[in-house]
Each structure stands twice: as C-alpha cells, then as structure tokens.
Homo-oligomer: A and B are copies of this chain.
C-alpha cells in the first residue's frame, strides 16, 4: 500500500475550498483515498470541517501548507505512518492502562507508548515487564504544582504529543491543562453529563439507572465538560451493587478510551469549541 498524508482542516465555510485543495493534490499527481467534507450549518455562519487522506509525495505537503497559510484555515498535515508519541497517566487501577498498552503492542493503530506516569507504584512491574519506562510522580495537596511540573518535564523529555489519562484520579490544574491544550484525553466513568464528579457508580446505583456508561473527552479547564470523543453504555440490572457496576463499567471504560485514543491517533478528530467532529 502507498504511503499517505492526512490533512485535517476547518474554517469559516466558503465556496471552493474543497475544489482548491483537491486540485492542488491532483496537480502533484497524488491520489485521494478518503475525503470527508462536512459543513456545520448554523444560524450565524457555517463552519467547514475537512479530512483528506492522500498519496504522500515531495511537493504536495509544502504546496498545501503554502496555500492554506495564506487563507484563514486551521490545518494540520500528518504522515499516516508516524506514530503518535504518548504518555499514559494512571493511578491504581490497571484496566484502561493495559487495554491501551496491549493494543499498541499489537500495532492496531499508530501509537507509540513513550512512558507511563503514575502517582502509585503498583503498576510498575506490569509496565516495565513490557519494556515501557515507568515514572512514579507522587502527588500531594501541597506538591501538586511541583508534581505537575515534573510530569510536564517527563513528557517533554520523551517529546510526547498526547497525554492519556487512563484512570488518573487526580484533578489537573488549569495551568497544566492550558499547557497541554487539546493534547490530553480522559476517560470519565459515567455517561456524561450524568454523574459528573466523584463516585459516579455510587450515584448511578443510587439513582437506579438501567444502563451505565463511560465517556472519553479532551480535558479542558472545566472539569468533565471537555469535548466528547466517544461514549458507550452497558446494561445493568437490580442485581448489580455499586461495586458490580464498577466492575462492569471498567470494561466499557477501557473500550471507550481505546477507541477515542485510536481515532485521535488516526487523525480522525477535529475539535471546535466544546464539540468534536469524528470522521469514522
């Protein structure tokens, strides 16, 4: 199979953008494999979202960059084969962590797990046995700032492009979130916006819901309110205690987070405001 570039772009909608871009691609003798063009029709102004997957060649990238820079278009061009360097942050629970690591090991999608960072030690052996560096960064109320600075230093030392909170049970500061803007993906253990905050399974049990869920989203300053990438649910019944819901919910959490991370790494997600466009 040929090597591909992936263009993600979005801008205020106007006539001719797809014509312009596809013609540049054609003119370099590059073939388009996928093109998703979606216009969000709003009252005030329409917004255009584009994802194009096309043959890689010497000219096409620089020509596109030159042309799109002159227009008011947000864009990024990715090499489809380049793996997204990722740091996994985890607390004690291992299920989301292991799901991502094992999928990465099977090379199911273009991700490279650069390191695992944890405020606990219990996952060290599992991670290191698989040949992945493990960093313990203790967090206390008093040292939160220093801890976050250390996490940032570790991430920078590996040159990571993505931080995945694979059940990292610490609330991140605004400063940290801002520094890694739209580079942090979280899994929340409820079907947001239900059961925001602590102990969602306890809340779900108390409310007597018949489905429990999980939500993967980009982390923003506003806790549990970032742009949603993926959600899913699983059926529960009266026999499920809050503890059973937690166990059952784990498997949905792992699957939902893994799909969200996969789509991010395949460059299928565009964020605008607090919403995502996911081209699957």
Contacts and interface: CB of A to CB of B under 8 A. Distances in A.
Given A23-B23, A35-B35, A239-B38, A275 B208 contact: yes
| Total copies of this chain within the assembly | 4
A204 to B, nearest CB: 9
A207 B232 contact: no
A40 to B, nearest CB: 7
A39 B1 CA distance: 13
Contacts of A130: 126
A72 to B, nearest CB: 17
A12 interface: no
A237 B278 CA distance: 8
A interface, size bucket: 35 or more
Contacts of A1: 41
Interface stretch (A111-119, A148-156, A172-180, A192-200): A192-200
Given A25-B19, A26-B16, A232-B211, A38 B238 contact: yes
Contacts of A232: 211
Contact of A247 (B35, B108, B208, B276): B108
Interface stretch (A80-88, A94-102, A139-147, A161-169): A94-102
Given A94-B106, A208-B274, A208-B275, 10 more contacts: A15-B30, A19-B19, A36-B37, A41-B241, A98-B98, A192-B194, A193-B195, A207-B274, A208-B227, A210-B228
